[in-house]
């Protein structure tokens, strides 16, 4: 399969266009709260799709885990070089955002041992794409469940993997063909948005964002095949990036 970013395609199916256009609210649901909150994740969703198969950033990776000092949106951090996607980030210094690429389930960066996985262009490659940037508002995925997503649910509750439940988003919301999965009551909150099924243009991708650091957001995306690992994945990512960014 050629290494072509989905963002480079000249045309898309209607469902793909909704994702590639990021967040667009239907005029009849142009609610102030939803606009503010969803605008904050629009950029991340667009990048998630456009970069999903972009392996250009892997050129130059040599597996060295040398420490790189960055200042991400004003917050200092030291991270291993082989976790960073771009050469520019691996040079260190001040950046507005930083992209990571980690192997699942090891949560390790690029290495010669796992080079085949990192260069795998299949939709279900065992990789997690992560973007850390300034927090545009206080609502992360968990907070949006009741305040925003719930008002757009339609149809019956769906049984998800590993105890998750799902609800489809209605077409009026602009997210037709997408499902919000959430954890059962009484456990640590977990909410992720997923494309309901693979399309010729877009794999069945799930996206979740959480607040980290003092004022940062961590958006991570992965193939829906790994949604059953939600407890372990979320806990380990929070702990790893909490150490990097000193989450209070």
The encoded tokens of residue 118 equal 């990192």
pLDDT at 55: 46
| 115-155 per-position pLDDT tens digit | 999 988 888 899 999 999 999 999 999 999 999 999 999 99
Inter-residue contact 110 to 121 (CB < 8 Å)? no
- Supply the mean pLDDT for the chain: 82
Q: How far is CA 129 from CA 11, 26, 50, 159, 248, in A?
A: 24, 29, 12, 26, 23
| 146-196 per-position pLDDT tens digit | 999 999 999 999 999 999 999 999 998 888 899 999 999 999 999 999 998
**This prediction's pTM:** 0.77
d(CA 145, CA 211): 15
**Helical spans, DSSP H, in 51-140:** 87-90, 115-118
pLDDT at 9: 35
What percent of the chain has a predicted confidence (pLDDT) above 70? Answer: 74
Q: What mean pLDDT do residues 6-15 have?
A: 41
| 27-65 per-position pLDDT tens digit | 444 444 454 445 444 444 444 444 544 444 455 566 789
pLDDT at 202: 80
């Amino acid at each position: 399969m050629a290494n072509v970013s989905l963002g480079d395609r000249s045309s898309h199916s209607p469902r793909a266009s909704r994702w590639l256009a990021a967040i667009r609210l239907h005029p009849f649901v142009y609610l102030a709260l939803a606009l503010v909150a969803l605008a904050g994740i629009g950029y991340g969703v667009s990048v998630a799709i456009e970069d999903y198969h972009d392996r250009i950033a892997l050129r130059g990776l040599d597996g060295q885990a040398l420490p790189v000092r960055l200042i991400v949106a004003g917050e200092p951090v030291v991270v291993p070089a082989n976790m960073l996607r771009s050469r520019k980030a691996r040079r260190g210094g001040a950046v507005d955002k930083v992209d990571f690429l980690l192997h699942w389930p090891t949560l390790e960066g690029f290495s010669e041992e796992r080079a085949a996985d990192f260069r795998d262009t299949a939709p279900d490659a065992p990789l997690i794409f992560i973007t850390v940037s300034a927090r545009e508002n206080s609502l992360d995925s968990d907070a949006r469940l009741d305040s925003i997503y719930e008002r757009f649910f339609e149809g019956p509750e769906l049984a998800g993997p590993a105890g998750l439940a799902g609800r489809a988003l209605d077409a009026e919301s602009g997210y037709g063909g997408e499902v919000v999965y959430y954890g059962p009551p009484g456990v640590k909150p977990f909410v992720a948005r997923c494309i309901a099924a693979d399309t010729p243009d877009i794999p069945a991708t799930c996206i979740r964002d959480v607040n980290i650091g003092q004022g940062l957001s961590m958006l991570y995306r992965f193939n829906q095949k790994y949604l059953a690992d939600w407890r372990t994945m979320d806990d380990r990512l929070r702990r790893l990036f909490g150490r990097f960014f000193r989450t209070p």
